[in-house]
Amino acid sequence: MNKFVSKKLQLRELVKMALVTSPIIGIYTITPMVLHVISLPEIEKTMISWSYLTLLKALSGISVFVFIQWMINIWLFHFLDDQLNRTVHQNWKYLFSYTVMFVIVFLFRLKRAEHAPIDFGSFGYYPIIAATANNTFILIIYWLITGKHEKAQLELAKTRLELAQYVTQQEQLKNKIHPHFIFNALNTLKLLIKKEQQTAEDYLVRLSAHLRFSITEAAKDQALIKNELEFCQNYIELQKVRFANSIQFENYLPNEVINNEYLPVVTLQSLAENAIKHNAFTKNNPLIIKIRQNEDNSITFSNNLIPKRNPEATTGTGLNNLKKRFKLLGNAEPTVLHNIKDKQFEVTFDTLKK
């Protein structure tokens, strides 16, 4: 919603409020005057042209006056700055608003004195007091309405900023995944070209398909588990070339979950990459990666632990990125279980709601 549309909506609500409140303010303004007239001695009442028609005219006049007050204030605080192409200090606007109101009341009193020269005593100042109170009441309502719209605009701007930050963080987190994989893949390809050209060619074909799929899915925040599994399995096949078929992948997810549930894009591949990076597996002692659904419908991605003799220092960047991506998409962070006794490493997470 742009500024012009917002001001137009504010103006519509302000005019509607002016039309509704003007007769209401007129009624509570004229009531004390009527009660005062009723309390006058009979001799003074005869000097007043008193009738229901007179009362209706007075009420209409006061309602019109209140509506004029509304329009003056709307013009002062809503349009004046735009018309003058500069910002007028609020105090000057308040001064002008009350000055115009006092002038109109003064002229009204002069005209009233000509037609009904009655001595109201101290009550004669009531029109000034009432007009001041009415103008203040109008300004309070005005600022409540415009304040509500400004708050809505701020909330909208805040939401847009959070959305922009979310998109930026998502892109940053996804971009941290691909360079790591490409670096390892190119190193493997370099070694294969020197030793096994046919295998290198097959590897390059798989790598090309993997990257094409990666680029297609990277435009999304989340992916169907079916696509995630295909992506992960293709990645593992590439790694089998590098590690001489010493990796096994076992999928125990039901078809209903595979075909209908979603995960943050590249979740399974990043977990497989993490497992391969931190374990010392061989053909005789393979790395076994499993994925299953639990009784609470969460999913667990696990692998056996095969500690390296000289383990690399880990920063936990991959898992931290994954946790952030789940959180940014409105899900609970995955839980990580590092079970040394059972030699199992598990990451459990809930699927996303599409």
Query: What pLDDT tens digit does each residue of the chain (354 aa) get?
Result: 555 666 778 888 888 988 999 888 888 888 877 776 677 665 455 545 556 677 788 788 888 888 988 888 888 887 776 777 667 788 888 888 888 888 877 777 776 655 554 445 555 677 788 888 888 998 898 888 888 888 888 887 777 766 655 665 565 555 555 666 678 788 888 888 888 888 888 888 888 878 877 777 766 778 899 999 988 988 898 888 878 889 999 999 999 999 999 998 889 988 998 899 889 999 899 999 999 999 999 999 999 999 888 776 666 777 888 888 888 788 899 999 988 888 999 999 999 876
Beta bridge partners of 300: 292, 348
Question: How many Cα atoms within 13 Å fall on the side-chain side of residue 141?
Answer: 23
Decide: residue 319, CB within 10 A, 0-12 exposed, 13-18 middle, 19+ buried: middle
Q: Which two tokens stand for residue 318?
A: 């991959």
Task: Measure the CA–CA gap between 48 and 36, rounded to whole angstroms.
Answer: 13
Q: Which parts of the chain are beta strand (E)?
A: 222-224, 247-251, 262-264, 287-293, 299-304, 335-339, 344-349
Contact present, 15 and 23 (Cβ < 8 Å): no
Contact present, 286 and 248 (Cβ < 8 Å): yes
pLDDT at residue 116, rounded to an integer: 53
**Any residues with CB less than 8 A from the CB of 244 and at least 6 apart, and which?**
283
pLDDT at residue 43, rounded to an integer: 46
pTM: 0.53
pLDDT at residue 253, rounded to an integer: 96
The dihedral sign for the CA sequence 8, 14, 18, 21: positive
For 85: left if phi > 0, alpha if psi spans -120 to 50, otherwise beta; the answer is left
**Any residues with CB less than 8 A from the CB of 299 and at least 6 apart, and which?**
253, 257, 263, 291, 292, 293, 348, 349, 350, 351
Task: Measure the CA–CA gap between 323 and 335, rounded to whole angstroms.
Answer: 9
Decide: residue 346, CB within 10 A, 0-12 exposed, 13-18 middle, 19+ buried: middle
DSSP summary character for residue 220: S
pLDDT at residue 229, rounded to an integer: 93
pLDDT at residue 49, rounded to an integer: 52
For 119: left if phi > 0, alpha if psi spans -120 to 50, otherwise beta; the answer is beta
pLDDT at residue 196, rounded to an integer: 82
Name the helix (H) or strand (E) containing 242: helix 225-242
Q: Which residues of 131-145 are buried (b: 16+ CB within 10 A; e: fewer)?
A: beebbeebbebbeee
Other CB atoms within 10 A of residue 243 CB? 16
Decide: residue 204, CB within 10 A, 0-12 exposed, 13-18 middle, 19+ buried: middle
Question: How many Cα atoms within 13 Å fall on the side-chain side of residue 333?
Answer: 9
Other CB atoms within 10 A of residue 167 CB? 12
Q: Which residues of 10-32 are buried (b: 16+ CB within 10 A; e: fewer)?
A: beeebeebbeebbeebbeebbee
**Any residues with CB less than 8 A from the CB of 138 and at least 6 apart, and which?**
21, 25, 66, 69, 70, 73
